[in-house]
Chains A and B, each alone.
Chain A
Amino acid sequence: MSTRRPQLQAGYVLHHRPYRDTSLVVDVFTRTAGRLALVARGARRPRASQRSLLQPFRPLLLSWRLGGGEMGTLTAVEADGYPPGLSGDALMSGFYLNELVLRLLGRHDPNEAIFDLYAETLAALPAGPTAPVLRRFEKLLLDGLGYALPVHETGMDGQTLDPDSRYRFDPESGAWPLAGSEGRGYSGRTLLALARANYDEPSVQPEMRRLLAEALQPHLGGKPLQTARVMRDLTRRGLRQTRSEPSANDSDDKGDPS
């Protein structure tokens, strides 16, 4: 029965919601068991000690018990290091990461590579501009889910990509020279930056964001990302100082730094 009662596994809380009168349902993302929903009994009681630990972004060690149903029961939780100290934009970006993981990873489907990517992305968020960190996460998340983008330094016509030419990017096959009627496409510079895993170049940020948003879109099941909408609302009100919002569902490049 040991597999039904995992002990002190590394994990994060992605989201929580009230359950019954005094409990919480926490959506957790663990390294060894993937994403799962656990009931934290009594976690909403006034003096519950779990309450302060069961916060998003904090590295935790979780123990739980799986019953017959969809949800397991959280049996113990311990801190596994300090919270990453996210605030402002980095904090919003953290919510965005959580939503991507919630929406794109199935329950009970462990993916250690994505878990490690998630952990290192969270740790990288407070350090500087969030946009390159988010683009890297989106790109590697697609890789880890088995939807790796065919980005190479050569186009489908066999020619090396020209930074100053425009291309159409097909997430299935790759980059094709842009014909006149095919919309705005992407610059060779953007595609090359993505192929070289160079996420920091400011001039390609808006296009890279749009490209990754379009690549994520089909996997999100048609529903728009809530975090992206909330962040747009905040941006519209001028409540965000640096504008480096997440990409998915946001193919509009207006108001972006270039």
Chain B
Amino acid sequence: MIFSRHLQSLIDALRALPGVGPRSAQRMAFHILERDREGGQDLVRALTAALDNVSQCGQCRMLSDEPLCGVCRSDRRDAGLICVVESPADVMAIEQATDYSGRYFVLMGHLSPLDGIGPEELGLELLEQRLASGEVRELILATNPTVEGEATASYLMDLARSCQVRASRIAHGVPIGGELEYVDGGTLSHAFQGRLEIK
């Protein structure tokens, strides 16, 4: 072996990250070893701590350090509202962009019958329990506007109905700063169907 064995295994390990190919993995490894050993130590500590401590929140399936995540524990969040999203990244996006003050439920995927992903895999039992508790007034569906996301939303609507909870769906439409001419046909037709009366 020409290179250090440890260097090689570091390069291989870095490739586990999305978007990192052999070239970038090599660059990262050299950077840590040559220029920023302290940063490397921090990375090790953070990675170990995260892997040891982060798991799913028992109520909303969001990633969390505690058995219940911060949003579910906080009494400033409205327990009567649940927003259903597909991934933890969606929770982050909503938290950063909106003033939504309810709670979440993270599916960790969407209904995908061809891949065998059904209600069990999405933890719908947990959601059903929360809806059945009577605490929830409204279920906000924020699954992705893909065919699978729509399939998921449609069953969540049935679930909400069977628990007598109001269900709503986030609007699909023309992006702000976008030009109508360049918006794809599907989005435009959704935007037309979902048009709102101006009050």
Residues of A within 8 A of B (CB): 15, 17, 21, 49, 52-53, 55-57, 79, 82-83, 87-88, 91-92, 95-96, 98-99, 102, 226-227, 229-231, 233-234, 237-241
B114-152 with Cβ < 8 A to chain A: 114-120, 124, 128, 146-147, 150-151
Interchain CB contact (< 8 A) of A239 among B162, B186, B189: B162
* Residues of the A chain whose Cβ atoms lie less than 8 Å from the Cβ of B159: 237, 239
Q: Is the CB of A95 within 8 A of B124?
A: no
- A-B interface, 8 closest residue pairs, ranked by CB to CB distance from nearest: A230-B118, A227-B113, A226-B116, A230-B113, A95-B113, A233-B118, A52-B184, A239-B158
Interchain CB contact (< 8 A) of A234 among B19, B115, B118, B185: B118
Q: Is the CB of A226 within 8 A of B113?
A: yes
CA distance A237 to B119 in the complex (A): 9
Q: Is the CB of B114 within 8 A of A52?
A: no
Interchain CB contact (< 8 A) of A95 among B114, B119, B128: B114
Cβ of A64 to closest chain B Cβ, rounded Å: 21
Q: Is the CB of B185 within 8 A of A79?
A: yes
Q: Is the CB of A91 within 8 A of B185?
A: no
Supposing A52-B186, A237-B124 touch, asked if A99 and B114 sit within 8 A by C-beta, the answer is yes
Measured CB to CB, the nearest residue on chain B to A238 is B162
Measured CB to CB, the nearest residue on chain A to B185 is A79
Given contacts A95-B151, A234-B118, A239-B159, 19 further A-B contacts (CB under 8 A): A15-B114, A49-B184, A53-B184, A53-B186, A55-B146, A57-B147, A79-B185, A95-B113, A96-B113, A99-B114, A102-B114, A226-B113, A226-B115, A227-B113, A227-B114, A229-B116, A237-B128, A239-B155, A239-B158
Cβ of B43 to closest chain A Cβ, rounded Å: 21
* Residues of the A chain whose Cβ atoms lie less than 8 Å from the Cβ of B111: 230
Q: Is the interface of B mostly helix, strand, loop or mixed?
A: helix
What are 30 A-to-B residue pairs whose CB atoms are below 8 Å?
A21-B18, A21-B19, A49-B184, A52-B187, A53-B184, A82-B189, A83-B186, A88-B158, A91-B147, A91-B151, A92-B151, A95-B114, A95-B151, A96-B113, A98-B114, A99-B114, A102-B114, A226-B113, A226-B114, A226-B116, A230-B111, A230-B113, A230-B117, A230-B118, A233-B118, A234-B119, A239-B119, A239-B158, A239-B159, A240-B155
* Residues of the B chain whose Cβ atoms lie less than 8 Å from the Cβ of A53: 184, 186
* Residues of the A chain whose Cβ atoms lie less than 8 Å from the Cβ of B147: 55-57, 91
* Residues of the B chain whose Cβ atoms lie less than 8 Å from the Cβ of A96: 113
CA distance A34 to B19 in the complex (A): 33
Measured CB to CB, the nearest residue on chain B to A226 is B116
Residues of B within 8 A of A (CB): 18-19, 111, 113-120, 124, 128, 146-147, 150-151, 154-155, 158-159, 162, 184-187, 189
Supposing A52-B187, A55-B146, A91-B147 touch, asked if A230 and B18 sit within 8 A by C-beta, the answer is no
Cβ of A68 to closest chain B Cβ, rounded Å: 22
* Residues of the A chain whose Cβ atoms lie less than 8 Å from the Cβ of B186: 52-53, 55, 83
Supposing A52-B186, A87-B150 touch, asked if A233 and B119 sit within 8 A by C-beta, the answer is yes
Cβ of B21 to closest chain A Cβ, rounded Å: 9
Cβ of B115 to closest chain A Cβ, rounded Å: 7
* Residues of the A chain whose Cβ atoms lie less than 8 Å from the Cβ of B154: 87-88, 91
Supposing A87-B150, A241-B158 touch, asked if A231 and B113 sit within 8 A by C-beta, the answer is yes
Cβ of B163 to closest chain A Cβ, rounded Å: 11
Q: Is the CB of A233 within 8 A of B114?
A: no
* Residues of the A chain whose Cβ atoms lie less than 8 Å from the Cβ of B19: 21
Cβ of B16 to closest chain A Cβ, rounded Å: 13
CA distance A88 to B184 in the complex (A): 24
* Residues of the B chain whose Cβ atoms lie less than 8 Å from the Cβ of A234: 118-119, 155
Measured CB to CB, the nearest residue on chain B to A102 is B114
Of A52, A57, A241, the most chain B CB neighbours within 10 A belong to A52
Cβ of A217 to closest chain B Cβ, rounded Å: 18
* Residues of the B chain whose Cβ atoms lie less than 8 Å from the Cβ of A49: 184
Cβ of A41 to closest chain B Cβ, rounded Å: 15
CA distance A238 to B150 in the complex (A): 18
